[in-house]
Amino acid sequence: MDYTQKSSANGVYTVSMRGKFTFGDHNSFKHILELLTDPNLKQLELDFSEISFVDSAALGVILIAKDEAEKKGKQLVIFNPVGQVKKMFEISRFYDLFEITH
């Protein structure tokens, strides 16, 4: 997958991802996680609108992201999962663990 990021004045950083999110993308995702160290970031929003597929490794790194955000006292929000991704999130109880908006 590839991604673009934008930040807003009130400390909300939005990362829009595109394509399939699988094991091979863990390095890219690591760079996204590094944003959490930015002192200007208050909330990291992960936009899944254009992600067509997640595998179990992807779910693993998203859970790691949750821990990292908590450790650093930042908000993590998931935005608009669709199709297979939405199904996976539902079965994995992500709707209970994360703040997910559509």
> What is the torsional sign of CA 36, 4, 51, 80?
positive
Q: Which is nearer to other proteins, 46 or 54 (CB)?
A: 54
Which of 6, 70, 84, 99: binder of other proteins (CB under 8 A)?
84
Q: Does 92 bind other proteins (CB under 8 A)?
A: yes
Q: Does 76 bind other proteins (CB under 8 A)?
A: no
* Nearest to 25, CA basis, from 55, 4, 66, 45: 55
Paired strand residues for 10:
none
> How far apart are CB 26 and other proteins at their closest, in Å?
6
- Reduced to 3 states (helix: H, G, I; strand: E, B; else coil), residue 22 is coil
Angle at 54 between CA 49 and CA 58, to 5 degrees: 110
> How far apart are CB 53 and other proteins at their closest, in Å?
8
List contacts with other proteins (CB under 8 A).
Answer: 22-23, 26-27, 30, 53-57, 59-61, 63-64, 84, 87-88, 90-93
